[in-house]
Chain A
Amino acid sequence: MSIKLTTQAYCKMLLHAAKYPHCAVNGLLVAEKQKEKKKDSHSTPILCVDCIPLFHGTLALAPMLEVALTLIDTWCKENKYVIAGYYQANERTKDFRPNQFAEKVGARIAENFSEAAMIMVDSTRFTMGCYEPILTIYDHHENKWKCRDCNADCFEDWCEAQKITSALLEGRSYESLIDFDNHLDDLRNDWTNPEINKSVLHLC
Chain B
Amino acid sequence: MSFLYCLNPEKHKLRKWREDNHRNSEQIVDVGEELINEHASKLGDDIWIIYEQVMIAALDCSRDDLAWTCLQELKRQFPGSQRVKRLAGMRLEALEKYEDANKQYDSILQDDPTNTAARKRKISILKAQGKSAEAIRELNEYLEQFVGDQEAWHELSELYINEHDYGKAAFCLEELMMTNPHNHLYCEQYAEVKYTQGGLENLELSRKYFAQALKLNNRNMRALFGLYMSASHIAASPKVNATVKKANVKYATWATNQINRAYQLAGRGTKENKCSVKAVEEMLESITMS
Contacts and interface: CB of A to CB of B under 8 A. Distances in A.
Interface of A: 21-22, 58, 60-64, 66-67, 70-71, 73-75, 78, 92, 94-95, 100-101, 172, 184-188, 190-192, 194
A92 B265 CA distance: 39
Interface in B263-277: 263, 265-268, 270-273, 275-276
Given A184-B222, A187-B263, A188-B266, A60 B279 contact: no
B195 A63 contact: yes
A63 B266 contact: no
26 contacts: A58-B158, A58-B162, A61-B196, A62-B192, A62-B195, A62-B198, A63-B206, A63-B225, A64-B225, A66-B229, A70-B279, A71-B275, A71-B279, A75-B275, A75-B276, A92-B130, A101-B164, A184-B221, A187-B265, A187-B267, A187-B273, A188-B268, A190-B270, A190-B272, A190-B273, A191-B272
A185 to B, nearest CB: 8
7 cross-chain pairs, A with B, having the tightest CB-CB distances, nearest first: A74-B279, A187-B266, A62-B196, A75-B275, A61-B192, A192-B272, A67-B225
B215 interface: no
B283 interface: yes
Given A60-B196, A78-B278, 5 more contacts: A63-B230, A67-B225, A94-B130, A185-B221, A188-B268
Contacts of B23: 22
B248 to A, nearest CB: 15
Most chain A CB neighbours (cut-off 10 Å) among B206, B229, B272, B283: B272
B89 interface: no
Contacts of B92: none
B262 interface: yes
A199 to B, nearest CB: 17
A60 B191 CA distance: 14
Nearest to A67: B225
B242 to A, nearest CB: 25
Contacts of B279: 70-71, 73-75
Contacts of A66: 229
Given A70-B279, A71-B279, A74-B279, A60 B164 contact: yes
Interface of B: 23, 26, 60, 128, 130, 158, 161-162, 164, 191-193, 195-196, 198, 206, 221-222, 225-226, 229-230, 262-263, 265-268, 270-273, 275-276, 278-279, 282-283
A70 B283 contact: yes
A67 B283 CA distance: 10
Contacts of B161: 58, 60-61
Nearest to A185: B221
Contact of B192 (A64, A78, A188, A192): A64
A160 to B, nearest CB: 25
A196 to B, nearest CB: 13
A78 B275 contact: yes
Contacts of B278: 74, 78
A94 B263 CA distance: 40
A187 B272 contact: no
A188 B272 CA distance: 10
A22 B62 CA distance: 12
Contacts of B229: 63, 66-67
Contacts of B272: 75, 190-192, 194
B269 to A, nearest CB: 12
B162 A187 contact: no
Contacts of A75: 272, 275-276, 279
A52 B164 CA distance: 25
Contacts of B60: 21-22
Contacts of B26: 172
Contacts of A101: 164
Contacts of A60: 161-162, 164, 196
Nearest to A21: B60
A64 B60 CA distance: 29
A93 to B, nearest CB: 9
Contacts of A172: 26
A185 B275 CA distance: 18
A107 to B, nearest CB: 15
Contacts of B130: 92, 94-95
A61 B276 contact: no
A96 to B, nearest CB: 12
A184 B271 CA distance: 17
